[in-house]
Structure 1
Amino acid sequence: MAELYSVRMRAAQGGPHEKGGHHISGAERIVKLEEVGAIAQSLADRALHHSKGRADFINITVDLIPPEKITYIDCLKVEEHKTSSISESHQLATELLQGPHISEAAVLKAISLLKSLDKSMRGAMLVDAITGERLDTGDRGVRVSHMDSFDSYALGDNEHMREALVLASKVQSADGIVGELCWSDDPDYTVGYVACNGVYHRLPNMKEFGSDIGGRVFFVRSDIDSESVIEYLERTPVLVQRR
């Protein structure tokens, strides 16, 4: 099997994230050796021509991934929904997520947490699926990494959706995670999603057009060790395949 490399980009304005820089963009791919240069260039171009502004700090990391370290998972099914307002979208998100594994109170708390952000987080919040209590600390969140799909053409030609679908599929494959709520921090992209029970539900009108604040919440079972969940999400290389 050809050697595979993880190519990851993160970009900020006003210096690195660790020194208070404003997050502009982040993306990653898992590609063959001969694709590394072109993909690194395309990720850098993305950071320099972004709707949130032009990055003045760009970090690109390239790592070799041993084939035996890669986990292959199936892509979530996709369902498209239509709504006419933010409140309708948030109500639908609540109805889709709540059930035996996620309480209504936890979903409402998650929506409140995202709406109360004064700046976008680089990662996701971990929330107890029953109590709604936030389990992670600080403003970094859990940064899902090391993932891609070799079936990109089958995931659609919308870059936002392709990347979100790959990420959501990895997240839902983690032992202990029972759902996800997300809307983008791109000011011109108001579509968000919820993921649960093997389905990626794409929802319009999840935030105001022009808002550059977005985020993710992962709903976690109470009996799961959150550190093992974080280790899987941040470090295990995953390739998503469409059945």
Structure 2
Amino acid sequence: MLYSVRMRAAAGGSHESGGAHISGAERLLEEDRIEKTAAEMIRRALSHTKGKADFIRLTIEGIDDHEITRIPGLPIETWEAANYEEGRKHAGEFLVNAGVKAQAVDRAFTALTALHSNMRGAMLLDAVTGERLDPGGNRGVRVSRMDLENEATFGAWLSRQGLDNSHTREALVLASKVLSAPETLAELCWSDDPEYVTGYVAIKGLYHRITKLKALNDPRGGRVFFIHPGSDIDALKLYLETRAVLVFSGED
């Protein structure tokens, strides 16, 4: 059995009561690693660059081995961008080349840049029309219950590419789970960390890491999942929110 350890932190009260999102983290762990990991998550919530949380929710849940799916991590390709305008131009081209229609790409960028506060989850957009398919608002769909299959092996794989940092590890695990769902065509994301400007476009078989997708010190971030028309949204949400997934490195 493994344990899903999940943390969400906000300032000004809980997320549900309007508190500003500060930090979140997800791990799938053996029992003997729970205590140390939980302490690290709490420290992260109390010392984040976005501020100090006054609401922290920690959830620990046992998951049987037969309930866990194992998938490969997406291969990584890095694109250097001189500024975030150039980065977004590259991102749009990657999405269109993957089959996302231009109007859906435009609606995604419009929705992300119009955010006044951070999304707690991801927007689901129809990959053809750009219509929003989740309930709307700032909640979106939260991807949960995921981690690395072998942290040391995965870290070594990333290190050989000069990318072994927490931002890349966490984003790659999430994107790999999202793109493993048959309903998902692509993902667009940039971080809500004011000091982290790198974002990505994930498509089937590739994680496009783009070095600049937002302006430095911009605290807004979010993600959009582009969904095949006619997909079963309830089945997709069930997989993304509840199915436990372990991601192994692309070399394994």
Q: TM-score range by the shorter chain?
A: over 0.9
2:188 maps to 1:215: no
Aligned residue identity for 1:217: V
Counterpart residue number, 1:110: 108
Counterpart residue number, 2:14: 16
Determine helix, strand or coil for the equivalent of 2:223.
strand
Pairing of 1:65-80 with structure 2 (within 5 A): 65-80=63-78
Q: 2:242 aligns with which of 200, 220, 235?
A: 235
Aligned residue identity for 1:138: G
The TM-score, its normalising length taken from structure 1, stands at: 0.97
Alpha-carbon distance between aligned partners in 1 of 2:204 and 2:57, rounded to the nearest angstrom? 35
C-alpha contact 1:77 1:198 (8 A) present in aligned 2? yes
- Give the CA RMSD over aligned residues: 1.0
Displaced runs of 4 or more, over 3 A = none
My pick for the range that moved more, 57-66 or 145-154, is: 145-154
Alpha-carbon distance between aligned partners in 1 of 2:107 and 2:34, rounded to the nearest angstrom? 41
2:128 maps to 1:121: no
C-alpha contact 2:76 2:209 (8 A) present in aligned 1? yes
- 1:150, CA displacement in angstroms? 2.6
Counterpart residue number, 1:149: 148
Alpha-carbon distance between aligned partners in 2 of 1:35 and 1:139, rounded to the nearest angstrom? 32
- 1:100, CA displacement in angstroms? 6.0
Aligned residue identity for 1:231: L
Gaps of 5+ in 1: none
Counterpart residue number, 2:210: 203
Aligned residue identity for 1:29: R
Aligned residue identity for 1:129: A
Counterpart residue number, 1:171: 178
Determine helix, strand or coil for the equivalent of 2:57.
strand
2:99 maps to 1:92: no
- 1:138, CA displacement in angstroms? 2.3
The TM-score, its normalising length taken from structure 2, stands at: 0.93
Aligned residue identity for 2:199: G
Aligned residue identity for 2:168: M
Determine helix, strand or coil for the equivalent of 2:24.
strand
- 1:155, CA displacement in angstroms? 3.7
Alpha-carbon distance between aligned partners in 2 of 1:193 and 1:100, rounded to the nearest angstrom? 14
2:166 maps to 1:159: yes
Q: Give per-residue Cα distances to partners, 1:140-170, cap 9 Å, x unaligned.
A: 0000000000333234421001000000000
Counterpart residue number, 2:37: 39
